[in-house]
């Protein structure tokens, strides 16, 4: 690869990395409903096993008392708040990558009637099990 081709390739890779970062930023941070505070959306994994739907949401630093979970009209709602660490208020910030503040994630459920049978918040992850009661 010649020097000019290497420079072009490196520039293209850098531009693609910036585009990926922008897509991720838009995925995690969005404006809430009109008149509401901005919110971020935690990433989730969803698995279906027989009549059960397993949902795992990444919620680092979120305590159970700041968490709300419910099912509304076939949509699972995970909401709450991840406060900024107290240390951050008096510190010089070099980088902030973990989202803070209000979060909300809405997940459309498959057809059927689901009830929450298990909910556990451990190791920075919320694990929910919903059972289809048809």
What CATH architecture does domain 31-132 belong to? Sandwich (2.60)
pLDDT at 124 over 90: yes
Residue-range domain boundaries for the chain: 31-132
- Inter-residue contact 133 to 112 (CB < 8 Å): yes
Q: Which of 11-15, 19-23, 114-118 has the highest mean pLDDT?
A: 114-118
Backbone torsion region of residue 51, taken as left when φ is above 0, otherwise alpha when ψ lies between -120 and 50, otherwise beta:
alpha
For residue 2, the model assigns a pLDDT of 65
pLDDT tens track for 68-102: 999 988 999 999 999 888 887 788 888 888 888 99
pLDDT of residue 127: 98
d(CA 114, CA 20): 35
pLDDT tens readout for residues 28-67:
555 445 555 668 999 999 999 999 999 999 999 999 999 9
CA distances from 52 to 62, 79, 106 (A): 25, 22, 18
Give the chain's end-to-end CA distance (angstroms, integer): 61
Other CB atoms closer than 10 Å to residue 104's CB: what's the count? 18
pLDDT at 112: 86
Q: How far apart are alpha carbons 51 and 113 in whole angstroms?
A: 11
């Amino acid at each position: 690869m010649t020097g000019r081709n290497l420079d072009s390739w490196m520039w293209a890779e850098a531009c693609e990395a910036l585009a990926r970062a922008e897509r991720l930023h838009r995925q995690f941070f969005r404006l809430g409903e009109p008149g509401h505070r901005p919110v971020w959306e935690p990433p989730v994994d969803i698995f279906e096993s027989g009549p059960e739907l397993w949902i795992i949401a990444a919620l680092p630093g979120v305590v159970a008392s700041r968490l709300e979970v419910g099912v509304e009209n076939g949509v699972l709602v995970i909401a709450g708040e991840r406060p900024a660490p107290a240390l951050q208020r008096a510190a010089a910030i070099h980088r902030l990558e973990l989202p803070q503040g209000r979060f909300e994630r809405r997940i459309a459920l498959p057809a059927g009637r689901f009830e929450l049978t298990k909910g556990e918040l451990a190791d920075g992850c919320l694990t929910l099990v919903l059972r289809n009661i048809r």
